[in-house]
Amino acid sequence: MRSPSLAVLALAVAVGVPATSRAGGSLFTPPAPANADSVACLVQNLGPDEEFVTARLHDLDGVVIASTTGAVGGGAVRAFADSDANVGLSYCEFEGLSKSLRGFLTSSGGDGVVLPTVR
C-alpha cells in the first residue's frame, strides 16, 4: 500500500485535522513535530476482548522506521512501533483497527504531542 503523500499530510496539519482512512483500511495520524526526542504509535482498546493490530512508524518520505504486529488486551493501551532517534517529521499507520481500537501518535521532548487518527 502506498503511504499518504507529503501534500496530503501537510494539508491535514494545515487545517488542523488528522488524516483519515484510505482504501485498504489503513488509518494515519498527522505528522509529529520534527523536534521530538522520541515518537511512538499507541493503540487503545476500548472493548473487553484482546484484538490484533499492525502499527508502522513512517518518516515523511514514507520509509518505515519501525513496525509491530501484536495484540492489545481489552481495556489496555499498548505502545507498538517507536523510535528514540530524532527522525524528523513522522506519522503512524494502523491496519486492523476495529471500532473498539483507537490509534495515536505520541511524541516527547520538544513540542510533545498526542495525535489521534479519526474515522
Domain with residue 84: its CATH number is: 2.60.120
pTM for this one? Answer: 0.72
Residue 70: per-residue pLDDT: 94
Q: What is the DSSP letter of 16?
A: T
Q: Which of 115 and 59 is assigned the larger pLDDT?
A: 59
The model's pLDDT over 37-87, given as tens digits with 9 standing for 90+, comes to: 778 899 999 999 999 999 999 988 889 999 999 999 999 999 888 888 777
Residue 8 grid cell:
496530503
Residue 116: per-residue pLDDT: 61
Within-domain flag for 28 = yes
Residue 20: per-residue pLDDT: 42
What one-letter code names the amino acid at 66?
A
Within-domain flag for 26 = yes
Within-domain flag for 27 = yes
Domain encompassing residue 82: 6-116
| Beta-carbon count within 10 A of 41 CB | 30
Within-domain flag for 1 = no
Count of structural domains within the chain: 1
Residue 118: per-residue pLDDT: 53
Confidence tier at 89 by pLDDT (50, 70, 90): confident
Taking the C-alpha atoms of residue 100 and residue 50, their distance in angstroms, rounded to an integer, is 10
For the chain, counts of helices (H) and of strands (E)? 1, 8
CA torsion 118→1→84→108, rounded to 10°? Answer: -20
